[in-house]
Chain A
């Protein structure tokens, strides 16, 4: 609603004041990566690309290259996205549409898990991966990440399936198609927006994940960008905020790109916890 007859500058002023610290952080996050600044100052005094040297040589000697880490992170995020989406696509359809014994139990379980604070299970999950022999492997972290994302994914996909008209499936069934064919040829195309949204969401979630790789795949060297960045920030031998910022911008580039392209969709799905 846009009340034309009322001025809204007081609101804008209040919001601007509140948002200023965030905006300052964003702006400096960007300009610090390409400028030099005298110690103790906040005004840049020169332009440089030196903070971006990590692209061609490792930051710490005999450390991993940024590209190897980016590759690992990409594998991690993509596998997470694909598996979460794949498993959610089938499970959510079963919960939304198929008559089967125990459906009420599964649905109740889904809602409980949807809210359940998964990170409290990290101690036990750590031990389970040890027992399974998957500790300190990317596979192990992916499995856990997928499991932790699943309740949300299934919930979101179920919402999309619920909005497909029953009549489409009824028509398909009387047309002679099996429920599997109906799902594959008639229903899946209707939930493609949901599929895309979930793929994007779980990719971002995997790309940003920090705790799970930290705990479940510490290795001797960090395996993904999140743990690597955290490690160099924590490392007392390197104390160069401009470098950290450059690395983290490199790290956040896919996130920013996806955000710019899919802004609307993302806002919806991040609020999607409440929609059924």
Chain B
């Protein structure tokens, strides 16, 4: 474990990716604290380009783009962690149970996994959001998580199958440990590095899903998000008016976060797999 930390901090991809993520996270957490007005308030001259006063300029209504951007970062991180976490939780539970228990339960769960896998998740999310009118980010994250777990379940199931027959699992079974306990104590720790990588990918996926939904105008109505900023920018003709500072930052923020997550993932893969490390 210590060795892995050592290699992680020497891996350029991990360090670079994490710096971008942490940098944006800190920006999102800290910057809004210095504003004495809300992100949707009309505080400046309309459609002002970036300046010392408004770092990222203002919208056609005179809202502070920088404040919207930094507040939107909070939403992005929240939905990523929650959505990715929920998807990971569901996917891992189903994968572990299916792989470990086998039999009919496995068949049923496998079928369920396959069905959700081919179901176009975004289309389902659109219907759900449109009808139920999602109000908060956790609710959005819950729905995103509920439809993006299948590939995790598949991969975890396959790995559990291969771990199930190992000696230490046999030993645990012989000593009378229950299924959930064996999964939690014996199987999951042996896959921890893999699970971390999975969570990172799910995090990125949830961020993209949320941005898409927000962009269509189906996101949480009560908060500011990067996707909603792009929606507003397009809706209020920022393109035609040339207000590039309105639509460039939110997309760039998402790309940076998701890209950094992917790069960190590749780097961590090298850290965990010594065979890749040598190359």
A and B form one complex: no
Measuring CB to CB, which residues of chain B are less than 8 angstroms from any residue of chain A?
Answer: none
